[in-house]
């Protein structure tokens, strides 16, 4: 997966709970994968919804994530990921990272720029 050309619309910022996260399904530019989109105020970050430990989704129900402080927690094996950079800071895949999705926010909309 490389740079998406042109960028594709992911969602609107107001569809992401402030301080929370949601999943967007079948994302163009991400090989149709589910994408985790997290928001803190106007800052939006995104990753593929795939835990590097076992290749499973992180949500416990579609679009529902375990969040504590600045951590996104995999519902299957408890891996804890830093919401600022996607690094696993505790659990079975410590030191690995979620696969980042570079996003741009324009006029209240979140656009996928690339998958890293």
d(CA 3, CA 101): 10
Q: What is the sign of the dihedral through the CA atoms of 83, 111, 113 and 26? A: positive
pLDDT at site 6: 65
pLDDT at site 1: 44
pLDDT at site 116: 78
Q: Collapse the DSSP code of 81 into the 3-class scheme (helix H, G, I; strand E, B; otherwise coil) and give the result.
A: strand
pLDDT at site 76: 92
DSSP assignment of 10-67: EEEGGGS-TT-EEEE-S-TTTTT--EEEEEETTEEEEEES--TTTS--S-SBTTB-EE
What phi and psi values does residue 115 have, to the nearest 5 degrees? -115, 125
Going along the chain from its start, the domains and CATH numbers come out as 8-115 (2.102.10.10)
In 3D space, the residue among 16, 51, 58, 64 whose CA is nearest the CA of residue 37 turns out to be 16
**Helix (H) / strand (E) containing 7:** none
pLDDT at site 113: 86
pLDDT, tens only, 85-101 = 999 999 999 999 999 99
Residuewise pLDDT in 10s, the chain (116 residues): 444 456 789 999 999 999 999 999 988 777 778 999 999 998 999 999 999 998 999 999 999 999 999 999 999 999 999 999 999 999 999 999 999 999 999 999 999 988 87
- Residue 103 to residues 8, 70, 94, 109: CA-CA distances in angstroms? 10, 19, 25, 10
């Amino acid at each position: 997966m490389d740079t998406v050309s042109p960028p594709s619309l992911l969602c609107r910022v107001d569809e992401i709970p402030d301080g929370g996260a949601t999943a967007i399904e079948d994302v163009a530019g991400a090989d149709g994968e589910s994408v985790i989109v997290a928001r803190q105020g106007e800052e939006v970050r995104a990753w593929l919804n795939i835990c590097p430990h076992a290749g499973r989704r992180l949500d416990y129900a579609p679009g529902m994530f375990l969040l504590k402080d600045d951590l996104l927690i995999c519902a299957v094996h408890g891996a804890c990921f830093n919401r600022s950079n996607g690094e696993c800071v505790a659990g079975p895949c410590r030191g690995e990272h979620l696969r980042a999705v570079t996003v741009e926010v324009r006029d209240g909309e979140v656009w996928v720029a690339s998958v890293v």
